Structure 1
Amino acid sequence: MSYVDLITCPICLEHFTKPRYLPCLHTYCEECLSDYISAAYKKDDKGFNCPTCRAFNRVELSESFSAKKTANGFPINHLIMTLLDRKNLENKDVNCFSCSKRGRDAPGKFWCYSCSAAFCENCGEFHTSLPILADHRIAPIDESTDASVISLTAHDVCETHPGKKLEMFCHDHDLPCCATCTMVTHRKCESVVTLEDAAKSFKDTDSNDTEQVKDEIKSLIAEFDSKLNDSTKKYKELEEITERHEREIKEYSDKMVNHVNKLKEDFEKTLAEVQSKKMKDISNRKKELSNMQSIVSNSELLLKAVEEKCSRIQLLSLIPKITKLTDEINEKLEIMKKDPITQNIKVIIDESIEECEKIDSIGKIIEN
């Protein structure tokens, strides 16, 4: 999987349009997410599951708060926007956004970093002439020879206050923030510095921090692979054990008549229920591990792409989010270790089965 996959919506399989990301860092088009929430919303639980990893997101829909508003409430993924800009600038074959909306084809000559869209010469000039768009950054696409440099800071904007540039960094909360955030939310924080100073300090230590997170992700992925393989092995062994005991049961049941046949049916039903329960437990554990692995794998790809394609500021913003996710996953793994799922079923056949009229069960089923 390459970074191009990161800019493809898992729902519509097209390049993202207004990418919005969930707390698990999985990203979807705003419209795709809105449609998905409408279809997958669980009224009783008041929320929906992530389409990719099934992580639950608690939201409450109402007549005044629709699925569209809910989707709009999730943050814009500016990291993905940066990757989209990188791809478009590298290709240099995009069409004019405004003309395409009017059913016309015109090659893009200018790129607006604020809109993440290309414009032809006429539309580009008109775009810059509007007072409301005066602060938009526009540059000729043909002159964009170094896409990595030009797009690095295009989307370093505040998620809380749309349109505000990130200018400061709060060490107390480990978050980049805009001027408004600094005055409103972080005015009592003791350690608030400029982004340039924070980035410079991070640059001196980011190698170790980034490598540590990457090593942690690799370790988690290896552990998931091991646990998933173990779950698959347990599932197969459980089937083999169950089949073996079913053969044992049949050998004894063939000696019985009438009342024994009824006992046989009851016993096989009990065994099937135990098998179903254990298989369900193993399947649920396997599914949970797969969903957690999806979060870690996505984090690895995102971290790699941001490290290679985006700014240090964006990398600085991403590290705490991934660290939080890995900490949560490690906690879940510790809980799983304390509550292991076994595949063993032990069947003890009653040796006095010949006296079938005197017994009320073929044997015992023991889980261990």
Structure 2
Amino acid sequence: MDQEFITCRICSRPLSDPCYLECLHDFCKQCIKDDLTQNLSTKLSAYACPVCKQLTETKNTTPEKWAEQLPASDFVGALTEVHKLKNEDVMCTPCKRKSKTTTGSKWCRTCHEALCSSCIDVHASLKTTMKHSMMDLHEVKLSGTKSLIFGPNCMKHDQQSLRSFCEDHNELICSLCIGEKHKQCKQIRTVDEEVKARNYELQEVSSKSANQLQIVQKALKSSLSSLTDVETTRSNLSDKIKSVRKRVDEILTKCEKKSLEELERIETDHRGKLEQDVDKLESLNEESSHTNQLLEQVKNYGSNAHILQCLQQVRERSNKNSTAFEEYREVKELPKVTFVINRQLDGLMRTLTSLGDFSIGENGIGSTESKQSKTPDNQDEQKPVNSERRFKRAENVLSVRTPSDENACVISGILSLPNLDWLFCDKGNRKLKLYNDKFRMKTEHILEQPPYDITLLGDQIVAVTIPDEMKISIFKILAGINLQEEIRTKDRCYGISYSSSESKFVVTCPFGSPASLRLLSRNGEELMVLIPEEDHQSLFLRPLYVRFDNSGNSILVSDSQRNRVTSITRSVYRRFHYTHANLRSPRGLALDSEGGFLVAGWGSDTVHRVDAGGRCKQEVLSRHDGVISPQAVALSYDQTAFVLSLDESSCRSDFVLLFSL
């Protein structure tokens, strides 16, 4: 017998009162209760198996009630009991109920209890138990496990073995059940007859189960091997990337050396000429100073003969030096030296966004079967989109960095105002930044904690989420950015959208347990917590950005972990999932006037345009357009352009990209 099979995977002890989950893993009932009570809320919709993480529906009841409703593991319980009988010193069960410790000597095969000598006498004297079959415990230890296994008892008629099977009701029954509920049933067989009749089905299920195990083990082995391959690939490609960088560094170092040598030559040439001029001018300065002094002294103290003599000397010297003095009549200015960057290098620095692209095979690393394209109901990956673009390459790459910024900008929220000004949430510097329609900065507002997303409430009134402070701040945009009020939230909120027709907010809580959406009134009252499920699993894992549609009846949510955008109604009815082979880790969302939307694929370096029904219209931007790790996206208020921000991992988060429609 495999002892691990009868060991609880929670407490690591032999199973006691075992029950099983939908995945068929067995646990002690008390262990399940304790695990639910300690780790989960009092109301839950599903419980994840501690071993395989498969979910078992809990029907929103309390942990204690739900655990009591779990089905008993009859076979595993019997196997555990027999293992104890064969391998341990068993205490008398009736004495144990009386808090006594007496070693058992026999085992009742009907009651499934160990009995001491005193209790054996009582057992044999009672009318209800006197005919029970008894077995010496020493004999039990020597017997085979299969001969000792006892069958399950009827839940309705205690101590009655389930020896029959009703095909009409497809259930095991006891002899008393036959006379009560199953009087009219035509298809009742003994358990032995039913097993014999279903022998082929048993073989078929066993074969299917063994085949499934083989498939899983093969795939697991392949995946584990692929994990090693991933590390090896990462190491090899990392070396290749570093070699590219090394080659670039070598080229730049060579160019740098050449430019510095040229600069040194220019400096030496200019210095030599200037030093010659300085020496000559210092000589002329000394001569001129002495000549002036001589003339002054002669005029003051010399005789006329001295004056005529000196005049003749000075005139001759002046005539001799006239050419030199004329040379320096106008002050010479040294030619200004500037450095103009190589045009090719300048263009490269403006457009270079990566050292290269990664190519991933169709099956991916460690894949055991090829991917198949599916399209029904917009739930699966859609076919490649039309390569024709409606959007131009970025007309402007605009800096959003201001002189007072201490860190790299990280623009996580963008909003176009009715007057066509642009408002940015810079979580890298804890600021709100206001720019006009020409992208000239108007003002900025410093916050205590980083903002994340932003939404329009009314004319020049905006709401901003501050996740770390668990609040939403309301600002009025006039000449400056003026705080109007603050709304406290029950969890850290990130994405935000406001429906003016419904006067309601919807916010995302991606790091809650579980992740959720929350509907709030205009004054911040929590109206509803949305934790939708699909196939007994949470619909959202990491909902980051959210947008009400134009009617306010539907909600768009980008889920960066499930790699999709989901549209749901406020009654948690799912309208569609938008997924695509070229969309990974979606983040920012922007709604257009037709009900469609733009979505930024942070993990795929793409921007997709999707219609109101969740169908892909086109991949409007990709890495070849200079898009690396796109974060937030917003359409201008007049729907003539859109702005895209880049995450800090792009190394270009100080800039936003402007595209016209």
Which bracket does the TM-score occupy, shorter chain normalised? 0.5 to 0.7
Deviates further, 216-225 or 19-28: 216-225
The residue that corresponds to 1:364 in the other structure is 357
Query: In 1, distance between residues paired with 2:211 and 2:187?
Result: 33
**Counterpart mapping for 1:36-51 below 5 A:** 36-41=35-40, 46-51=45-50
Does 1:154 pair with 2:150?
yes
Contact preservation (8 Å) 1:168, 1:177: yes
CA deviation profile, 1:153-194 (whole Å, cap 9, x unmatched): 733323576654324313356542346766888778663323
Q: State the TM-score, normalized to the length of structure 2.
A: 0.34
In the TM superposition, residue 79 of structure 1 has moved relative to its aligned partner by 0.8
Query: How far is 1:358 from its partner?
Result: 3.4
Task: Tell me which residue corresponds to 1:294.
Answer: none
| Displacement of 1:227 | 0.9
Deviation at 1:82, TM superposition (A): 2.5
Whole-angstrom CA distance in 2 between matches of 1:182 and 1:210:
26
Aligned to 1:58: 57
Aligned-residue offset at 1:90: 3.7
* Cα deviations by residue, 1:269-319 (Å, 9 ceiling, x for unpaired): xxxxxxxxxxxxxxxxxxxxxxxxxxxxxxxxxxxxxxxxxxxxxxxxxxx
SS at match of 2:239: helix
Corresponding residue of 1:23: 22
Query: Which of 221, 225, 228 in structure 1 is aligned with 2:213?
Result: 221
Structure with greater strand percent: 2
The amino acid across from 2:58 in the alignment is V
| Residue 208 to residue 359, structure 1, CA distance change in 2 (3 Å) | same
Number of matched pairs: 267
Offset, 1:56: 0.8
Question: How does 1:1-368 map onto structure 2 within 5 Å?
Answer: 2-41=1-40, 46-60=45-59, 62=61, 66-91=62-87, 93-100=89-96, 104-113=100-109, 115-127=111-123, 138-141=134-137, 147-148=143-144, 154-158=150-154, 163-171=159-167, 174-178=170-174, 191-202=187-198, 208-254=200-246, 355-362=347-354, 363-368=356-361
Q: 1:20 to 1:129 in 2, by over 3 A?
A: farther
Q: Distance in 2 between matches of 1:30 and 1:251?
A: 59
Distance 1:6 1:43, change over 3 A: same
CA distance in 2 between counterparts of 1:183 and 1:240 reads 69
Q: Secondary structure at the match of 1:364?
A: coil
Q: Is the 8 A contact 2:111 2:159 kept in 1?
A: no
Amino acid at match of 2:194: A
Structure 1 contact 40–49 (Cα < 8 Å) conserved: no
Counterparts of 1:115 and 1:29, CA distance in 2? 21
Report the Cα distance in structure 2 between the residues aligned to 1:158 and 1:355, rounded to whole angstroms: 83
* Pairwise CA RMSD: 4.1
| Structure-1 separation of matches of 2:236 and 2:194 | 64
Question: Residue by residue, what CA displacement relative to the aligned partner does 1:110-155 show, whole Å, maximum 9, x if unpaired?
Answer: 3234553312122333456667878976555456588459965733
Shift of 1:220: 2.6
Q: 1:281 — aligned with what? A: none
Distance 1:84 1:20 in 2: 12
Larger proportion of helix? 1
Is contact 1:21–1:76 with CA below 8 Å preserved after alignment?
yes
Question: Following the alignment from structure 1 to structure 2, what is the Cα–Cα distance between the partners of residues 230 and 142?
Answer: 49
- 1 or 2 for the larger relative contact order (CA 8 Å, sep ≥6)? 1
Q: In structure 2, do the counterparts of structure 1 residues 184 and 38 end up closer, same or farther at CA, with 3 Å as the change threshold? A: farther
Render the CA deviation track for 1:89-115: whole Å, top value 9, x for unaligned.
445842223444566442202323455
Contact persistence 1:19–1:28 (CA under 8 A): yes
Q: Equivalents in 2 of 1:133, 1:124: separation in Å?
A: 10
Do the aligned partners of residues 126 and 41 (structure 1) sit closer, same or farther apart at CA in structure 2, a change above 3 Å counting? farther
TM-score by length of 1: 0.57
- More moved, 70-79 vs 4-13: 4-13
Tell me how far apart the structure 2 counterparts of residues 181 and 41 of structure 1 sit (CA, whole Å): 39
Query: Are 1:47 and 1:58, in contact at CA under 8 Å, matched by a contact in 2?
Result: yes
Determine what percentage of the aligned residue pairs are the same residue.
Answer: 23
Amino acid at match of 2:2: Y
- One-letter code aligned to 2:240: E
